[in-house]
A and B are shown apart, each in its own frame.
Chain A
Amino acid sequence: MVEKKITVINRLGLHARAAAQLVRLAAGFQSKIIVRRCDTNVFADAKSILSVLTLAAAKGTELMLAIDGTDESGAMAAVEQLFLSGFGEM
């Protein structure tokens, strides 16, 4: 399992369209991808849109990613890249 802390940097936060991008990306990997808000006990499955929306992650929210599976390092790099790119908004 790999873990990493990331911050939501795009202006609109993890809004519906961004969440959909994340879900689509996550679904392409075999690994299980869990996202947790660092400030609460809210866990989401990155492959489920409603679950990701529940995070209500605005700009600046810190999230902990935990990825477990055969393609975990590739998945981590891809997800991190998506967050760093600001979901194509920047």
Chain B
Amino acid sequence: MQFDITDQSPKISVERFLELSSETLQLSILAGSAGLKDRKISSSRIQKLGLALAGFAHYIHEGRIQIVGQSEIAYLNQLEIEKRHEALRNLDLDKICCILVTKGLKPPRELLEIAEDRSLPVIQTADVSSLAINEVTKFLGEILAPRVTIHGVLMGLYGVGVLMLGDSGIGKSECALDLISRGHRLISDDSVLIKKIGGSLEGSSPELTREHLEIRGLGILNIRDLFGISAVGKCKKIELIIEFVKWEDAGEIDRVGLEISKHEVFGVRVKKFKLPVSVGRNLSTLVETAVRVFLINLSGGNAARDLIEKHSELLTKDENAK
């Protein structure tokens, strides 16, 4: 059973953006603070106001930060005052969520006046445009990423982020504990926050349960206290999924290891192994081995394929000998 994950793209107000970015980006507000709450940023991509100032405003996207750099300011400054007013009036200011002035430049007075009048936030950074664009895009990419929190355990094994799925009570947390005692890292137990960033999935723990693990009979454990700082991690790119299934529910199992199954989250496909669970199967050794198989496959090795090739050669040799 699986819920439909809605691909809701979050939106944030300019005010929230300034709050969240206060440490990383150091932005200050120049005008239009009345619009901080109502104006919303909905895309991590930015735009340069550029041609829109020259009258070609068709491509202004709502919800994107508009960058005003040296060229925009120089363009406005060389216009006569009347033309400057006209250029600004021609912009559809209700469609713009906020303007970011780069390089610590001083924008023309007319821009600040019209922004103040229309409650359009104008913010400023000391960074040059290219750097500011990089930083803002990266930052917004993270906070606007589509996200979902699901039931599962996320661990880091040999540098690979491994998401373990399976019904409650099947032994995910016990397996995680075993893996931790073998020196692997816990990212999150029971509840994993997955964000789609660029083309990959980043997993982390909800703040509340970070570094905690629940084991039936022992209760909630603090893994950092019990095993130390190297036993926990904050986030990890999810590269491999392991699904535990009860033996009787396992259905057809690939006995050779040539079939590759994939699991899709937000359109990102991740390699998946389905591991039937039963008494006497050591799950943590199986998970460790699955990651080794994943790593060797990445570097081109494939035991199943090699063995089958050898086998076919053997058969043709026999055939020729006859």
Taking beta carbons and an 8 Å cutoff, which residues of A are in contact with B? 1, 27, 32, 34, 36, 40-45, 47-51, 53-54, 56, 66, 68
**Cα distance, A41 to B149, chains bound together (Å):** 6
Interface string of B123-156 (1 = CB under 8 A from A): 0000000000000000000000011111100000
* B5–A54 touching, CB < 8 Å: no
* A41–B190 touching, CB < 8 Å: no
Contacting residues of chain B (159-194) with chain A, CB-CB under 8 angstroms: 167-169, 189-191
A81 CB, min distance to chain B CBs, angstroms: 21
A30 CB, min distance to chain B CBs, angstroms: 10
Contacts of B208 in A (CB 8 A): 53-54, 56
- B8 close to A (CB within 8 Å): yes
Which chain B residue has the least Cβ–Cβ distance from A31?
B1
* B8–A51 touching, CB < 8 Å: no
Interface string of B3-23 (1 = CB under 8 A from A): 101101000000000000000
Chain B residues touching A, range: 20 to 34
A49 CB, min distance to chain B CBs, angstroms: 5
B212 CB, min distance to chain A CBs, angstroms: 6
**Cα distance, A62 to B307, chains bound together (Å):** 55
* B148–A51 touching, CB < 8 Å: no
Which chain A residue has the least Cβ–Cβ distance from B167?
A32
Contacts of A41 in B (CB 8 A): 5-6, 8, 146-149
**Cα distance, A54 to B193, chains bound together (Å):** 10
